[in-house]
Structure 1
Amino acid sequence: MQSKALQTNPAKEKQQQHRADTARPRHLLPGLALCCALALAAMLVRHASGIAALSPLATAMVLGIVLRNVRVPLAFAAPGITFSLRRVLRFAIVLLGFQLTLTQIATIGWHGIVVIVATLAASFVVIRKVGALLGVDKALSELIAAGTSVCGASAIVATNTVTRGSDEDVAYAIACVTVFGSISMLAFPPLAEQISLTPAEFGLWTGATIHEVAQVVGAAFQGGTEAGQTGTVAKLSRVILLAPLILTLGTLATRTRAGQDAGGSVPMPWFVLGFAAVVLVNSVLSIPAEITRQIATWTTFLLTMALAAMGLETDIAKLHLKGLRPLLLGAIGWIFISVFGLALILWLQMPGFAG
């Protein structure tokens, strides 16, 4: 069991959010500037390294953790950090909707949709169950499940708006999806050759099972253009399932709190409905490709700011106290989603998908 010191205090969280919402702009500026600087640094690291699959989100979080834990005074930046972690994050999730259309989802066919939905649902449920068996805290299990089954770091920070795990829970879960997603990115291409997957099957496998979008792209395009396009669309199709997942978790959490008379309820995640609405708008309107690319760049930047803020609020000492069982849970989840997704693809004998 997680100690009381490590649990999220809903009253404290509400108070922090209220301070962020009511703070004057000049009070927000130092924290926003700090998160912005860390986000820029993280994106420059990826650009300088030449490694396209290097996630700036994870890099920004690490930079934030370093600053927090070398005891740099951060009180002056607290309102802006909280604002980045709440409002900036939610706005970025809404903007994610511009990266997906219903037409794109249709191109992978009903076979692909079955694989994606079944793999996501089975992985989420199994990881939560295994987490309970291992004695991993429920909130942390839920975050690892979301990051593994949906879309990595973005899913973790979005899911935490209703799960309400600690900042250390979020950091640990992101570390898991970063490590195991990177292993998949390196291991899947040679494995696909050994088992003679077609480009479409390989692309679907990567898109339905690898954690981060960048990791999917890095793996899928090693199998050629068709595999890369299929993998990207499959992955983005998983992203849209983030909306119903968070709404479901929020409803269940509200009912649980009401049953336990815990005082207070989980807020309705309206930003998720905004995400779904943007997907619908993007499906109906013809938005120029250049504008879509610009929005995608800004979305990544805002998400990176939010992860920098998360790092700035993460205490390594508390992270260390969680032990290795959550890491084992992440490994089990990674193996399960990889094997289950591949088995389902082979069982359905997937036809070739249009790019």
Structure 2
Amino acid sequence: MPVSPSPLTRSPGSAASTPQVPVRPAPATRPGALGALGALGALAPGLGAATVAVVLATAATRIVPGVSAAVIAVVLGVALTNLGGLHRSLAPGLGFAARRVLRLAIVLLGLQIALPELLALGWRALAVVAVGTGVTFAATRWIGGRVGVSPRRSLLIATGVSVCGAAAVAAMHEVAESDDDDVAAAVGVVVLYGSVSIVTLPLLAGALGLTPHQLGLWAGASVHEVAQVAAIGAAAGAGVLVSAVAVKLARVVLLAPIVGLTSVSLRRAAASPRRTAAERPEAGRATRRPPVVPLFVAGFVAAVAARSLGVVPDGITRVVPDLTAVLLAAALFALGTGVDLRRLVRGGRSLLLGGIATVIIGGISLLGVVLIG
């Protein structure tokens, strides 16, 4: 007895090629829901790696005092990519951390700054901060060109040394569109010379007969990282710690105008038909014009204003420093994964430039502290 073929096995050309079985309609989904889930899934590996790096970096700060979790996170990122452990599935999440998370961290940094507390330092101390920061920033960029350091790397080193270390480097990286190797070189300078300052500044202050208050002012006005300044203050006493951190935060305030003015300068250079060799984009680099005022810089200023006006609840201000440190560490870990050490080791001139910049800001700050007494 012949057996008729099953509807599922008939040839496509037959009239009954389509199975006559009821089809249950698929559940309705909101437009874009699957795309959003897919995007989150793509970000998850990279953000997970950044989270692990933050945990490790935070734990390491208890072993290596005076070095921030953000700086250690950069080292972890560099190690991961140069030892061959960076899988391409991490790229979307790390890219998100290097840009979006970084911008949020810089905005939150503004919530740690209350202008009335900084104004209480007095105009002379603030003048020392402004002169030391401004002169170091301008001189480092100029000297960079003379010693053979690229304009963008000189810009990052100038920002990191003159303002607030790794956070300032990362902020300027957003505007300058510099390479990850440039970021690593600038952060390396900050780590090296800032760590040396933890040991040398108290010794020099004792040899020069500076008071504890003067040591605090000098440290805050010249040392690169907030964590490094705090390490000097904690070792020298509570009075030194308070003045050192207050002066350091006064330097952090200058991050917004320096980044904003640099963005305007780069924007004009990009639009000008008569650009110098230093202003022309490097080979293969996009030539888009930077925004007049980056949105994250405007957010930073708004955060400073909110904290200064007292509209931020005390509970938030207590949590913000730790949250900011975590976000900065995650962002800088992501930036570190883009660093090629083989290229970086050829950057001895960057270390020279960083050393010169450190001497400049240290010398100007010391002179100012001695003059104001």
TM-score by length of 1: 0.88
* 8 Å CA contact retained: 1:23, 1:79: no
Match of 1:338 among 345, 348, 362: 362
- Residue 55 of structure 1 is matched in structure 2 by 68
Q: Max radius of gyration: which structure?
A: 2
Q: Write the distance in 2 (CA, Å) between the matches of 1:231 and 1:257.
A: 39
Q: C-alpha displacement at 1:319, in angstroms?
A: 1.5
Q: Cα gap change, 1:23/1:124 in structure 2, threshold over 3 Å: closer, same or farther?
A: farther
> Where does residue 257 of structure 2 map in the other structure?
244
Aligned to 1:276: 301
CA contact (8 A) 2:230 2:241 kept: yes
- The one-letter amino acid of 1:315's match is D
Q: Does 1:300 align with 2:313?
A: no
Deviation digits for residues 157-180 of structure 1 (CA, Å, limit 9, x no counterpart)? 101111121000000110001000
Could you tell which deviates more after superposition, 119-128 or 256-265?
256-265
The answer to whether the 8 Å contact 2:98/2:334 transfers is yes
Match of 2:100 in 1: 87
Residues 90-116 of structure 1: per-residue CA shift (max 9 Å, x gap): 000000011110111112110111000
* Percent of residue pairs identical: 36
Q: Which amino acid aligns with 2:42?
A: H
**Is structure 2 residue 43 aligned with structure 1 residue 43?**
no
Cα distance in 2 for partners of 1:73, 1:134 equals 34
Give 3-state SS (helix, strand or coil) of 2:345's partner: helix
CA distance in 2, matches of 1:325, 1:74: 32
Structure 2 SS opposite 1:44: helix
Where do 5+ consecutive residues of structure 2 fail to align? 1-35, 275-280, 282-286
- 1:200 Cα deviation after fit: 2.0
Match of 1:109 in 2: 122
Residues 248/55 of structure 1: CA separation in 2 closer, same or farther (3 Å cut): same
Among 46, 50, 60, the alignment partner of 1:31 is 46
In structure 2, the partner of 1:324 is 348
Partner amino acid for 1:41? L
Q: Does 1:184 align with 2:204?
A: no
Is residue 100 of structure 2 the alignment partner of residue 76 of structure 1?
A: no
Q: CA deviation at 1:287?
A: 4.3
Which residue of structure 2 aligns with residue 265 of structure 1? 289
Structure 1 residues 129 and 73 mapped into 2: Cα distance closer, same or farther (>3 Å)?
A: closer
Q: Deviations over 1:237-256 (max 9, x none)?
A: 11111000000000000000
Q: Does the CA contact (< 8 Å) of 1:57 and 1:153 recur in 2?
A: yes
Q: 2:272 & 2:37 partners in 1: Cα distance?
A: 32
2:113 maps to 100
Find 1:165's aligned residue among 163, 170, 178. 178
Q: How many residues align?
A: 326
Are residues 174 and 73 of structure 1, via their aligned partners in 2, closer, same or farther at CA, if it must alter by over 3 Å?
closer
Q: Deviation per CA, 1:143-169, whole angstroms, max 9, x where unpaired?
A: 010000000000001011111210000
Unmatched 5+ stretches in structure 1: 1-20, 351-355
From 138, 155, 158, the equivalent of 1:125 is 138
Question: Is the 1:123–1:145 Cα contact (8 Å) retained in structure 2?
Answer: yes
Partners of 1:67 and 1:287 in 2: CA distance: 38
